[in-house]
């Protein structure tokens, strides 16, 4: 069967994630007919390279989507809330990377290695949500364990790169570090405190229950993707002075016994996972190795000595690639091959 060629739009094309989406489309064998790039009026008229050609960035409007089959959005929650319904109404399927639609019961929340079947639900609103970066890499690593032994409870602490906040935060870490080592003054603009040589236990806004928005995304999205509301999740999300690559200390209590060896064997055969775990030779996942590639790296896998059915592990992935752009493009590829 010959695959139908589709028209794709990237909304937020000039941002950190949008740029990577364009690169992912270029690297993939996506059946592309045409590519349109959209951003705010600020960027309209700029040209970006795609497969050796210049593509002009258009200003996003409600009438931008005529003839578009799939629109991949990464322009922030407000833009998605405002424009995704108009895009869906004009007949295209939206794959949205913002937090706007993720917990809407009529919008599937998809990680292709974990719940690809959920994509079928896109027909309700014409929108598929791409999960939060920290959640994606955690569920890619936990899914094989969940399928085998069930999960009672997850306790996770994240070590998140500044690139998640966008280009301006990458600049803030760079400029702040340079100022520090030159004994110069630096006034932070993006984060409430200095990020250079520091850790901030604060990602997204604080909520009434004392958790941050990012922490509650990990709680709620994990349950939605694994389709199991009984899983107890608690998270502490921390911004660290790393440019690219999120790391996570994940503690999981399984329902049934599962040895570390059995978990390792499951992970070695799991899609999207690469086991990097040879402590005797100082081999474990690191942000600098997670960055720039698409696998979720898992290491430091060991039995939790404090409870009966516990495992500890360290999970690393590229937050802009698998945590955002790669996952969204994988969803678009499944849409193209199985649904459109």
Interface positions with ligand L14 (CB under 6 A): 99, 132-133, 160, 164-165, 203, 214, 217
Q: How far apart are the first and last CA of the chain?
A: 13
Q: How far apart are CA 275 and CA 279, in angstroms?
A: 12
Residue 156 touching ligand 25A (CB under 6 A)? no
Residue closer to ligand 25A, measured from CB, 290 or 310: 290
Token readout for 226 is 């694994």
Considering only the C-alpha atoms of the chain, give the largest distance between any 2 of them, rounded to a whole number of Å.
64
Which member of 99, 309, 326, 330 binds ligand 25A (CB under 6 A)? 99
CA atoms within 13 A on the CB side of 306: 4
SS3 (DSSP) at 264: helix
Interaction partner, residue 214 (ligand 25A, ligand L14, none; CB < 5-8 Å by kind):
ligand L14
Interaction partner, residue 217 (ligand L14, ligand 25A, none; CB < 5-8 Å by kind):
ligand L14
Residue closer to ligand L14, measured from CB, 133 or 263: 133
Size of the site for ligand 25A (CB under 6 A): 25
Residue 39 touching ligand 25A (CB under 6 A)? yes
Minimum CB distance to ligand 25A, residue 210 (Å)? 20
In terms of Cα–Cα distance, which of 33, 32, 35, 38 is closest to 83? Answer: 38
Q: How far apart are CA 253 and CA 310, in angstroms?
A: 4
Residue 15 touching ligand 25A (CB under 6 A)? yes
Residue 222 touching ligand 25A (CB under 6 A)? no
Minimum CB distance to ligand L14, residue 98 (Å)? 7
In terms of Cα–Cα distance, which of 136, 330, 114 is closest to 246? Answer: 136
Residue closer to ligand 25A, measured from CB, 267 or 315: 315
Token readout for 237 is 């999300």
Active site residues: 133, 246
SS3 (DSSP) at 331: helix
Which member of 42, 47, 49, 193 binds ligand 25A (CB under 6 A)? 42
Q: Which stretch binds ligand 25A (CB under 6 A): 7-15, 47-55, 235-243, 261-269?
A: 7-15
Phi-psi group of 134: left, alpha or beta (phi > 0 → left; psi -120 to 50 → alpha; rest → beta): alpha
In terms of Cα–Cα distance, which of 58, 23, 7, 62 is closest to 293? Answer: 23
Minimum CB distance to ligand L14, residue 327 (Å)? 11
Interacting residues with ligand 25A (CB under 6 A): 12-18, 39-40, 42-43, 60, 74-77, 79, 97-99, 133, 164, 166-167, 324
């Amino acid at each position: 069967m010959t695959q139908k060629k589709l028209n794709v739009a990237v909304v937020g094309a000039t941002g950190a994630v949008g740029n990577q989406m364009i690169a992912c489309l270029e690297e993939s064998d996506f059946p592309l007919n045409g590519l349109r790039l959209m951003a705010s009026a600020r960027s309209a008229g700029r040209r970006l390279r795609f497969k050796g050609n210049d593509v002009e960035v258009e200003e996003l409007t409600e009438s931008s989507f005529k003839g578009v089959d799939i629109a991949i959005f990464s322009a922030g929650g407000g833009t998605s809330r405002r424009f995704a319904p108009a895009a869906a109404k004009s007949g295209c399927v939206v794959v949205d990377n913002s937090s706007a639609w993720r917990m809407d019961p009529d919008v599937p929340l998809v990680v292709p290695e974990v719940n690809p079947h959920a994509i079928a639900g896109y027909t309700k609103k014409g929108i598929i949500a791409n999960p939060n970066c920290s959640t994606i890499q955690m569920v890619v690593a936990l899914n094989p364990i969940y399928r085998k032994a069930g999960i009672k409870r997850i306790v996770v602490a994240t070590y998140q790169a500044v690139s998640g906040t966008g280009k301006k935060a990458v600049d803030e870490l760079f400029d702040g570090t340079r100022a520090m080592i030159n004994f110069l003054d630096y006034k932070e603009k993006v984060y409430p405190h200095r990020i250079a040589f520091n850790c901030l236990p604060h990602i997204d806004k604080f909520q009434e229950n004392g958790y941050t928005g990012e922490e509650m995304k990990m709680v709620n999205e994990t349950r939605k993707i694994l389709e199991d509301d009984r899983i107890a999740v608690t998270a502490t999300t921390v911004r660290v002075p790393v440019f690219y690559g999120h790391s996570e200390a994940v503690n999981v209590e399984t329902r049934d016994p599962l040895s570390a060896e059995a978990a390792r064997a499951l992970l070695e055969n799991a899609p999207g996972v690469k086991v990097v775990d040879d402590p005797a030779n100082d081999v474990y996942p690191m942000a600098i190795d997670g960055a720039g590639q698409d696998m979720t790296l898992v290491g430091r896998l060991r039995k939790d000595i404090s409870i009966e059915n516990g495992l500890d592990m360290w999970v690393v992935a590229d937050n802009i690639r698998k945590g955002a752009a790669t996952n969204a493009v994988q969803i678009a590829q499944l849409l193209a091959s199985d649904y459109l």
